[in-house]
Amino acid sequence: MSQPGFAVSFVAGGVAGASVDLILFPLDTIKTRLQSPQGFKKAGGFRGIYAGVPSTAIGSFPNAAVFFLTYEYVKWFLHTASSSCWMPTQHMLAASAGEVVACLIRVPSEVVKQRAQVSASSRTFQIFSNILHEEGIQGLYRGYKSTVLREIPFSLVQFPLWEYLKALWSWRQDHAVDSWQSAVCGAFAGGFAAVITTPLDVAKTRIMLAKAGSSTAGGKVLSALQGVWRSQGPTGLFAGVLPRAASISLGGFIFLGAYEQAHSMLSRVHRKSR
């Protein structure tokens, strides 16, 4: 892939990420409140389901743009023949690298967003200011490790499965998949990955919502999971699994389909302008 190709991936990824995050924001709010330690009703129930949306609006484009830029670059850097048995490993490494870099942008946005979602009466900027005042920059990155530990396993499942399903579908019809077909593959891959990584998502939510100075705020994923297990049992580890799976499955459809469509359109525009 040439350098202009990386620019196309950057813009296409940003457009896709912003689209899916804003469209599915209410489902994300419901999922966060289901996972909140104070319970769904006390966290706001169905009220103010767009609380925290400014944080998402600001962070979505650069987060997804950086992810796909890194993902496509690492795939290019590790390029092997399409028939190689190492192709899934290439996709796994590319997705993992993309998540590590993207989380530098995603985590501060996620911390502010989730605290706004369980405290709908507080404004997003007020929450952002309070975090900086009480915890400093470090507070904005609380849960970075748990987010990476959630996103990497998720991507290790989602992206190789997405690429495999696209390749299989392409082979069956003897031509490259269309953007809507890529979207269908993305929906299945995302929903499957969402279900099996829900416990890690619960741990990440608890760490981000914990009060400063508490044991959970220390950011240890295993401790957070043990706390959930002791207080709620195995069902607590899968709190919010249905809205999470639904939103990510639908999100995978929109996100990866929109990425393919935007990438195709931008590539055609670039070729015509040369």
Domains of the chain, earliest start first: 3-273 (1.50.40.10)
Q: Report how far apart, in Å, the C-alpha atoms of 142 and of each of 54, 85, 88, 95, 249 are.
A: 19, 38, 31, 22, 27
pLDDT for position 2: 47
DSSP 207-269: HHHSPTTSSGGG--HHHHHHHHHHHH-HHHHTTTHHHHHHHHHHHHHHHHHHHHHHHHHHHHH
Report the distance separating Cα 25 and Cα 184, nearest Å. Answer: 20
Our CA angle for 199, 247, 201, nearest 5°, is 20
**Residue written as tokens 């944080």?**
55
Sequence-distant (≥ 6) Cβ neighbours of residue 2 within 8 angstroms = none
**Residue 249 structure tokens:** 């499955």
Residue 268 identity (one-letter amino acid):
R
Q: Report how far apart, in Å, the C-alpha atoms of 97 and of each of 32, 67, 83 are.
A: 26, 8, 23
Report the distance separating Cα 54 and Cα 181, nearest Å. Answer: 32
Q: How many residues does the chain have?
A: 274
CB atoms within 10 A of CB 273: 7
End-to-end Cα, the chain, rounded Å: 16
Q: Nearest 5°: phi and psi at 24?
A: -100, 15
Report the distance separating Cα 46 and Cα 240, nearest Å. Answer: 14
CB atoms within 10 A of CB 184: 18
Residues of the chain with pLDDT below 70 are: 1-4, 80-84, 213-219, 270, 273-274
Report the distance separating Cα 44 and Cα 121, nearest Å. Answer: 9
**Residue 255 structure tokens:** 């996100």
Our CA angle for 118, 252, 31, nearest 5°, is 20
Q: SS3 for 108?
A: helix
Q: Report how far apart, in Å, the C-alpha atoms of 84 and of each of 59, 79, 80, 93 are.
A: 36, 10, 6, 15
